[in-house]
Each structure stands twice: as C-alpha cells, then as structure tokens.
C-alpha cells in the first residue's frame, strides 16, 4: 500500500518508480487495450519488485471506484491480490 506521512497521498509517476512497489494495482483502464499498454510501460522498469514478480494487476473500476456496497467485494479482491492465500475461499 502506498503509505505516507499524510492520508491519501497523491503520487506522480516518478516517486512511484522511486519507491519500487511490490504490487501495482491499476483501475479504470479496462477499455481498448489501455491496461496492456500501461502494463507494458511498467514492465520496462525492471528494478521494481512488482515487475520482477509479475504482480501488476488490473481491477474493475466499477467495483473499486464507486462508493457502493460492492466496495466490500473490492476489499476481498484487494486482499487476494496483496496477500494471496490469506483468504482460503478466494474472493
């Protein structure tokens, strides 16, 4: 999780690359191959653990970005992505 000194930090791309995340979760890119392009962009940054361990994931923006009861489902998906195996049944 992108943690910082303040809640909900804003990141531009450069600090993200510098922080070398373990997992990258991308939303709102499901249409017209945008995710594949974004993923290909990330994969060129070989020093990032998320790239080395193939942990770049796309999630459904409708589930994640809308304030609705489905956020619980989003939380389950996120748990599965960040800590695979923690939830025995899966999302």
Nearest distance in Å: CB 50, another protein: 13
Nearer to another protein, 44 or 88 (CB): 44
The yes or no reply on residue 54 touching another protein (CB under 8 A) is no
DSSP 3-state assignment of 59? Answer: coil
* Binding string, residues 61-80; x marks residues near another protein by CB under 8 A: x-------------------
> How many CB atoms lie under 10 A from the CB of residue 85?
7
The yes or no reply on residue 7 touching another protein (CB under 8 A) is no
The pairs formed by 28-31 with CB atoms below 8 angstroms and a separation of 24 or more are 28/61, 28/65, 29/58, 29/61, 30/58, 30/60, 30/61
Nearer to another protein, 61 or 73 (CB): 61
Answer whether 28's CB lies under 8 Å from 40's CB.
no
Cβ partners under 8 Å of residue 19, min gap 6? 2
The yes or no reply on residue 49 touching another protein (CB under 8 A) is no
Binding residues vs another protein (CB under 8 A): 6, 9-15, 17-18, 20, 28-32, 34, 41, 44-47, 61
């Amino acid at each position: 999780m992108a943690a910082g000194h303040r809640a909900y930090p804003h990141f531009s791309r450069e600090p993200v690359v510098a922080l070398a995340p373990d997992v990258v979760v991308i939303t709102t890119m499901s249409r017209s191959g945008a995710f594949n392009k974004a993923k290909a962009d990330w994969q060129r940054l070989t020093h990032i653990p998320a790239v080395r361990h193939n942990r770049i994931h796309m999630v459904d923006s409708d589930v994640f970005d809308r304030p609705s009861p489905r956020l619980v489902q989003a939380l389950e998906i996120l748990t599965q992505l960040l800590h695979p195996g923690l939830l025995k049944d899966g999302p």
